[in-house]
Amino acid sequence: MTAMAHAPLTQEEVLLEGFLALDTPEGFRAELIEGEIVVTPPPDGDHEDYIGLIVEQVYLNSRTRMQFAGTKGLILQGGEGGQKDRVIPDGTFAPRERRLYRGADPWMPCDGVTMVLEVTSTKPKADREAKRRCHARGGIPLYLLVDREASSITLFSDPEKDDYREHCTRPMGKPLSLPEPFGFELETADFL
């Protein structure tokens, strides 16, 4: 009996295989961002408070009923080399009618996600740059970044290729307009 020869795995396949086999401690997040495995520790209370304040406003004020997920990872089109990114945003919003978050798989395609939410934590540069590029490549219409270091909130919109073509930054404490399907002013006074 002759053994069948198998094609060797590419570097990207080895990286993905290793990434998917990771067993991170409870509360830690492992992501595959632009060809790098990034592990972040559990968030602090202020981080979670900002998320809660935003989710509450979206549920109360959006013109479209929204669903929110805070632990579902997204599979996004990769950058150079084509490696797909696997990112776990602090939150994603999608119209409830889409029911995107069903199923046991912790990873889902980004099709149908309306807005991604990130609150800076231990690796703010990743939220400001690498994750922004990942979400733009995935075609996610809106990227909301709460930058705790800069005391600001930025809405990125109009994704094209590796970035968003438009953005609006407001200091914390000032309202920020969220376009349709949200259609309301996000109040940030409680962020101070």
Choice among 72-81, 89-98, 144-153 with the minimum mean pLDDT? 72-81
The pLDDT value recorded for residue 120 is: 96
DSSP, res 26: T
User: What domains are defined for the chain?
Assistant: 44-191 (3.90.1570.10)
The pLDDT value recorded for residue 182 is: 98
Residue among 39, 48, 29, 138 nearest 88 (CA): 29
The pLDDT tens digits of the residues spanning 84-127 come to 899 999 999 999 999 999 988 899 999 999 999 999 988 899 99
The pLDDT value recorded for residue 78 is: 67
Q: Is the pLDDT of residue 13 over 90?
A: no
Per-residue pLDDT, averaged over 32-56, amounts to 93
Q: How confident is the model at residue 5 (pLDDT cuts 50, 70, 90)?
A: low
Helices (H), ranges, the chain: 11-20, 45-61, 124-125, 131-137
Sheet holding 152-160, edge to edge: 66-69, 91-95, 115-119, 142-147, 152-160, 163-171
Task: State the Cα–Cα distance between residues 187 and 10, nearest whole angstrom.
Answer: 48
Kindly report the pTM of this predicted structure: 0.90
Residue among 117, 116, 143 nearest 51 (CA): 117
